[in-house]
Structure 1
């Protein structure tokens, strides 16, 4: 049977496209702004928010989005000009993990035997093959919204990323842009948790963006390439999981993303090596030519 004849695969591909596009877009700026640690912290925030929602008996997605967006804005407020630094992230990270343990204990204690223990596993490792039609459409539209908002602020955000002081002096609202960007990262993180889980989310955020920056040094081309790579890796990972049923889709997606990044690094290394060899050959060639040239003597001049 065709892969597209199964509704669960169609929903996974549909929702995964939106999730991957959002992760590729925000991941590009996370890598460019040296804020990858922020994405890692927010992935654990997503886990804590989901556990809080489960502990209080509300919709899991409410906890995901509320926690990730709120903590993302908190990181921006505690940092400088809307950009969280590593010290702030480290302290919030430790507090969030402790809070996650508390909500996990509360959930398992109050709801033991309720049959909902699989929800915790799904948050940790993802459950993209379990998306319903409405969940897939929601994921797609959230992804489209995140990408559209990021494209809208891409130029001033890039200016603030490359030279924050000059951007502020030119009137760019650096702090506001930082808050908006972190909110978009929080939304993308919350939605992507359904695909690859909190533990593996960083691979989907960082790997396509890192690959794009390896392949091109033009920022807007790199942004488009990061989105395209993330979507392609999502589709390739889901296809691999379909044909190898024992392979979890979250693992196959991140494995494909990591393999593509490794291939890009090898390609860049080999390209630089070839360029160095050509440069060395060009530098040595004129010396050989000069040695081979005949030397004019008095006899040849007289003739």
Structure 2
């Protein structure tokens, strides 16, 4: 327990360059995940994020085997997954089955590629659950550039994309290219998912892409407020997860998912209390006063 909460050791580790690089990468990832998260929840793409992460894992495993940057492999794999999901999963009735097919294929192929890899087991483990030591300055540069591109494209298409996400039938009737926007958004999600592989790991990247937004949705239905809250929650989970993992040297993914899940539970409790209070107020207004009852 003392090792888990060794504040002096944590403070010392925060002075290392690789830790500061990891914190910067986590801050960028939290911003991107928080910005995309509410739209992912609105479009019911949580399962798609998981499927995309599996092909990002496959790409990262291939890059590890070939001796090139893991971030590049994860990005390539996630983009392939996003395009497949966007093109093959256009019909809502087919979406889950398409995601399941891609997810299982990606995971199986990734496991095979890791089996061929002759290097250290820690590198294999890091792809699955995150490894902040592997985040080098050049990886941070790739992450920042990709994040800027994702946020810039999202800002350009946000209004029609939100319209198509909330009411796709009406949006298409108004001439909004909902199908094209869906493919584009899938690509943005794929890029963001790839960015989280080295920090959170391919298996649990959904903790940053979905959970903060799901928590924010419990507190507000306003898209702008939900996005701001999702960014805050994602930043707290990403940065807090790295800081808490330093002293024990445990995988970052556990702490990120634990913080995200705690935030989600707290938001559910707040939403429940608000709902009860509003029902009490509504019932008290609806009940007639004693004088009105006599009349």
Partner of 2:270: 267
Partner of 1:8: 18
The CA deviation string for residues 11-50 of structure 1, in whole angstroms up to 9 with x for no partner, is 1111111111112222221111011110011111111111
Partner of 1:85: 95
The verdict on how the C-alpha distance between 1:53 and 1:6 changes in structure 2, with shifts beyond 3 A counting, is closer
Q: What displacement does 1:280 show?
A: 2.4
Partner of 2:80: 70
Q: What displacement does 1:287 show?
A: 3.4
Pair 1:140 & 2:150 matched:
no
Q: 5 Å matches for 1:119-134? A: 119-134=123-138
Indicate the SS of the match to 1:200: coil
Pair 1:253 & 2:261 matched:
no
The verdict on how the C-alpha distance between 1:290 and 1:75 changes in structure 2, with shifts beyond 3 A counting, is closer
Pair 1:98 & 2:90 matched:
no
Q: CA RMSD in A?
A: 2.3
Partner of 2:57: 47
Give the Cα–Cα distance (whole angstroms) in 2 for the partners of residues 13 and 102 of structure 1.
31
Q: Mind listing any 5+ residue stretches in structure 2 that lack a counterpart?
A: 1-7
Give the Cα–Cα distance (whole angstroms) in 2 for the partners of residues 7 and 78 of structure 1.
43
Decide which of 17, 21, 26 is 2:36's aligned counterpart.
26
The verdict on how the C-alpha distance between 1:225 and 1:59 changes in structure 2, with shifts beyond 3 A counting, is same
Give the Cα–Cα distance (whole angstroms) in 1 for the partners of residues 234 and 113 of structure 2.
32
Pair 1:210 & 2:214 matched:
yes
Give the Cα–Cα distance (whole angstroms) in 2 for the partners of residues 180 and 198 of structure 1.
21
Partner of 1:223: 227
Q: How many residues align?
A: 285
Q: TM-score normalised to the size of structure 1?
A: 0.86
Q: What displacement does 1:236 show?
A: 2.2
